[in-house]
Structure 1
Amino acid sequence: MMKYYAVIVAGGSGNRMQTETPKQFLLLNNLPVLMHTIKAFAHSDTQPKILVVLHQDQHNYWKRLCNEFNFNVPHQIIAGGSERFHSVQNAIDTIDEDSFVAIHDAVRPLISKQLIDNSYKKAIEIGNVIVAVQSSDSVRLSKEGQTLAIKRNEVYLVQTPQIFNIAILKAAYKQPFEASFTDDASVVEALGEKINIIDGERNNIKITYPIDLELAEMLLNKNETV
């Protein structure tokens, strides 16, 4: 029987949110963002084992938040590293059984159950998947003082989850860290693996700026009234 894991990476600071509180702990409809994200995976049909990666200094604070909000969804806390790369590395080092592992940004709390389940299913079928949406804006590439128009139907905006077999992830994360590793797909791709894209969701937004939190609240409220 195939095993499933979800690694939720919560290493963000509050810098771009103009707040001292890290983004994953900000309240979204009276519940910390990270709790929404954990619940999304816990409520999926896939039912992965959930590993949450937090900076060591935030572990006690998270424990207090769980008590305050009576949050008892099962999950395991993993100590984060100096870079996202090292945080993911720490998490996958704890997995010792054949499995498919979804790696997801803690600050994408609006991911749907359908996208989670479909992503795991597709990863098993074709080996790996990352979710992404096509750009709806015109796109230009700026390089060496020149700008060049790019066909927007060839441009994808990458989201998470990104799902791989644990054996591939372990091999990929044995590589030395490179600044070009911006996500898990770029780490795996450096091994020579082909990366498969499936359709993501426009609502699967990443909370980075204050306007994102306002938009997330609006979308969440809309979903709850449907």
Structure 2
Amino acid sequence: MNKFAIIVAGGSGTRMGAPISKQYLEIGGKPILMHTLEVFYHTIPDIQLILVIPENDFGFWEDLCERRHFEIPYSIVKGGNSRFQSVKNGLDSIVGDEGLVAIHDGVRPFVNPDVILDSFKVAKEKGSAIAVVSLKDSLRKLTDDGKSFFQERQNFRLVQTPQTFLLSKIKKAFDVTELYHFTDDATVYEHQGWQVELISGNPENIKITSPDDMVFADFLIKRLG
């Protein structure tokens, strides 16, 4: 089956406090987004990569790639006003509905190749594969009256990306009006009444959104590199 990966990097990075968007900041001497594209390409060399970034960033990104001789093949699609719209634009750029597609945050450069491979394998069999990790900390639920209650952490998982699907099903799922509770691709898929399949992610697969994350990312790239 054809394999696609939509790399979504439409954020402005306001929490980072940097002059450029977080996906273009460097770790290990290279923009974060290049690391992310590389891990998918090196894991599955025949994968069809689709990069979704703000249209206003096209020229800036192309200049970055030219200066760094970044030659991994991919197509580029303009982002929307929300993550939902950006993913939908990426899906709409794929001709037909046969194959498998992984949807991944551009600022998660530390995804393990085994997780990528497992996501495609499971999605082919089950229709979906959502990377998750277990919680390590204790968990409490807050109520409107200011009280809190213990929650059994074994009953919860932290959701990561990639989130991989049969292309035909996720295209159908995104052919709806955007709703407030669509916080990720799995919630859009579930809206059709389909159960998502969970797979084990890797704890290092952090989403880089803050200066503290950049410090940890620099540590990780030295350790893993």
TM-score bracket, normalised by the shorter chain, equals over 0.9
TM alignment of 1:108-147, pairs within 5 A: 108-145=108-145, 146-147=147-148
Deviations 1:40-95 (A, max 9, x none): 00001363200000011001100000011110100110010011000000110111
Q: Aligned partners of 1:127 and 1:103: how far apart in 2?
A: 14
Identity of aligned residues (%): 38
Q: Report the more deviating stretch, 4-13 or 41-50.
A: 41-50
Q: 2: CA distance between counterparts of 1:167 and 1:185?
A: 15
Q: Which runs of at least 4 in structure 1 moved beyond 6 Å after TM superposition?
A: none
Question: Does the aligned pair in 2 maintain the 1:24–1:32 contact within 8 Å?
Answer: yes
CA contact (8 A) 1:46 1:117 kept: no
Is the contact made by 2:105 and 2:162 (CA closer than 8 Å) also made in structure 1?
yes
Q: What secondary structure is seen at the aligned counterpart in 2 of 1:222?
A: helix
Partners of 2:92 and 2:180 lie apart in 1 by 21
Query: Residue type of the partner of 2:113?
Result: K
Provide TM-score, normalisation by structure 1: 0.96
- Corresponding residue SS for 1:43: helix
CA displacement 1:27-50 (0-9 Å, x = unmatched):
011100000000000001363200
> Contact conserved, 2:23 with 2:32, CA < 8 A, in 1?
yes
Aligned length: 223
Q: Which amino acid aligns with 1:104?
A: H
- Mapped partners of 1:140, 1:209: distance in 2: 24
Please list every run of 5 or more consecutive structure 1 residues that lacks an aligned counterpart in the other structure: none
Tell me the secondary structure at the aligned position of residue 164 of structure 1.
strand
Counterpart position of 1:170: 171
Counterpart of 1:205? 206
Question: Structure 2: any 5+ residue segments left out of the alignment?
Answer: none
Partner of 2:43, secondary structure, is: coil
Residue aligned with 1:220, SS: helix
- What TM-score comes out, normalization by structure 2 length? 0.96
